[in-house]
Amino acid sequence: MSIRKKKLILGMPRTFSTYKVIIDRLEQLGYDVIDISYDNDFFKYKNLWDRFINLVRKIILNDKGYKSKLRFESLGSSILNKLKHIDGKADYCLLIRADIYPRNVIKEILLKSNKTIAYQWDGVDRFPAIKDLIDLFDRFYIFDKKDANLIQGNYLETTNFYFNHLDDKRVSPKLNTFFFVGSFIKCRWDEIQATSNLILQNLGIPNFILYTNDNTIINNNSFEGISFITTPISYEDTIKLTLEHHILVDFLTKVHAGLSFRIFEAIGYRRKLITNNSDVKSYDFYHPDNIYILGEENRTISDFIKSPYFDIDEEIISKYSFDNWIKNILEN
């Protein structure tokens, strides 16, 4: 007799194709996944009037969700058809960045699920529309402890994670190589340049890849160890590059203080880490042989490179895997 697969509705942005990795792993874990994610990043206002109306509604009427309504009408209308064809109810609904969906659509989604969960893996301050949606869910998770001061209602804290099934122990990292990939964000640009120079001065090899569509930025900035791309690298390809490098680099942005995916990838794939996020010191995986905190160290990066990697307890490493994360999110 076949065991019935648990049905899960998954909704999230399709940025960098992370949703594909999540779906693949969920299916490997035995879930029947109904994908309602969509490309919310490619939205453009149809005209100046729509832009003006959004501004008025946001500032005067405090309607922070109006843009998501326009975006969904433009890019996500097929999702409602998917929902209509769900037979009965799904066991779970997991929305990551639920603010990309209009409130009325979320209500339709939640009617199709027995247990409803949201995870805000970006700062609430950056996407404040989420604050008006928290009450809709059975459980609402945040990854940035600072967000607790910005929201009302019930919430739970969690962290980001790494995908254990993407690890490939056959790959040997190139010694003294430092890897960072991310979008160009002006507020961290100076520190990215300074860190690349610091690595070079300590005989390391930086490979920093920044995504931007702004040709002015690309044409006016040329630095050893830093390259620009105009097409995003998929998440799975990013992990392949990650595994080829000796040390990962993480830059905290001003919009949140939570630990990024890069930090958990370093833990899960057993790579050293350089970061400017000093909060890592409060976690059970922290060890100074493995993690160098920019602006707080008395030792040189050269000394950090030379120190051997300290083996973290397997239970701690597994604790931050996607498999454990999804189990806790859905079942606990």
The answer to whether 179 and 265 are in contact (CB under 8 A) is no
pLDDT of 72 above 90: no
Q: pLDDT digit string (tens) for 160-213?
A: 999 999 999 999 999 999 999 999 999 899 999 999 999 999 999 999 999 999
What phi-psi label fits residue 203: left (phi over 0), alpha (psi between -120 and 50 degrees) or beta? left
Check residues 22 and 121 and name the one with the higher pLDDT: 22
Mean pLDDT of 2-19: 89
When mean pLDDT is compared across 73-77, 262-266, 299-303, the lowest value belongs to: 73-77
pLDDT of 286 above 70: yes
Dihedral angle over CA of 178, 184, 188, 191, nearest 10? 40
Mean pLDDT of 141-168: 81
Domains along the chain with CATH numbers: 6-158 (3.40.50), 165-319 (3.40.50)
Mean pLDDT of 236-262: 91
Distance of CA 179 to the CA centre of its chain: 17
Mean pLDDT of 278-302: 95
Average pLDDT score over the chain: 87
